[in-house]
Amino acid sequence: MGIVLASQSPRRQELLRRIVPSFKVQAADINEEVQPGITPREYVQNMASEKAASIFEQFPEDRVIGCDTIVVYEDEIIGKPTSREHAFQILKKLSGQTHMVYTAVVVMEEGRTSSMIVPAEVEFFTLSDQEINAYLDTDEYKDKAGAYGIQEQGALLVKGIMGDYYSIMGLPIAALSRMLNYEYEQL
């Protein structure tokens, strides 16, 4: 039985290699539209579950890891920016504020599914328009929830964090490692 990561995120692949030396990668193609009336925690859990389930259909003999990460500010899910202007608006909104990051991880294998949500709180410095534009010039905001990557130049926007740093990056490896080890012990 192998492991399949249901994500093409280079960050998630890099992080998973720290705890699992060999795995396959298969991106899940699901509808990520936010449904009305759903809480952020329900949304992120559903997305990770749907990703894992869609890939598990292709790899039923393997263990599939599905993940999703969201940024939440004032109970609003802040998705990936659709343009530079949208990214500017997101970072302006987060400037000087504290927001939450939730990463859900689902491990699916024959006869068993386990999941977890790992939260982290992120506080941003108060950012000038010039600082925001300088960050946007790096293009790091593209394809990132909340329009920033904490592991890159986006770290310069962050005043502090409370919680799992790797959850903010998209894969809470300590929690996932414990989950995988526990599951191995149960086999």
CB 67 within 8 A of CB 171: yes
| 128 Cβ contact list (under 8 Å, min separation 6) | none
Determine the Cα–Cα distance for residues 64 and 26; give it in Å rounded to an integer: 10
CB 11 within 8 A of CB 25: no
Catalytic residues: 68
SS3 23: coil
Nearest C-alpha neighbor of 150 from the set 83, 99, 76, 104: 99
| 12 Cβ contact list (under 8 Å, min separation 6) | 5, 67, 170, 171
